[in-house]
Amino acid sequence: DTAVSQTPKYLVTQMGNDKSIKCEQNLGHDTMYWYKQDSKKFLKIMFSYNNKELIINETVPNRFSPKSPDKAHLNLHINSLELGDSAVYFCASILGQGNTEAFFGQGTRLTVV
């Protein structure tokens, strides 16, 4: 029973396309994050939602739009994909806003060709 699940695990798409990545957690946590991990393994925060409300938006292009229909789900929609968007995207959830451990999804490897 996966605590934080992301779909899809792999995504290959052409430049200019629009795609979505979905994330769901069954832990009852309040806060969910999207992180981007590039080829150098740097883990950069993108967005954070607390109880369906956006609380962090870290200088991410507005082609990226998160959506949280409820506190168990945080989806990421990307418009007009660019080559530089290729990375692994991780969803994570936390009880509270950072005082407890983060549980990560298995990641979505996005390749833009």
Partner 1 sequence: GQQVMQIPQYQHVQEGEDFTTYCNSSTTLSNIQWYKQRPGGHPVFLIQLVKSGEVKKQKRLTFQFGEAKKNSSLHITATQTTDVGPYFCGGATNKLIFGTGTLLAVQP
CB of 53 to partner 1, least distance (A): 13
Q: Please list the residues that pair with 76 across neighbouring strands.
A: 21, 66
Helices (H), the chain: none
Residue (of 113, 97, 83, 111) closest to 45 by Cα position:
97
- Member of 41, 70, 84, 113 binding partner 1 (CB under 8 A): 41
Choose, by CB under 8 A, the member of 5, 7, 30, 45 that binds partner 1.
45
Instruction: Say how many CA atoms lie within 13 Å of 100 toward its Cβ.
Output: 11
Site for partner 1 in 55-74 (CB under 8 A): 55-56, 58
- Residue 95, both tokens: 């009880």
Using the rule CB under 8 A, is 40 a contact of partner 1? yes
Residues at the interface with partner 1 (CB under 8 A): 33, 35, 40-45, 48, 55-56, 58, 90, 92, 94, 97-107
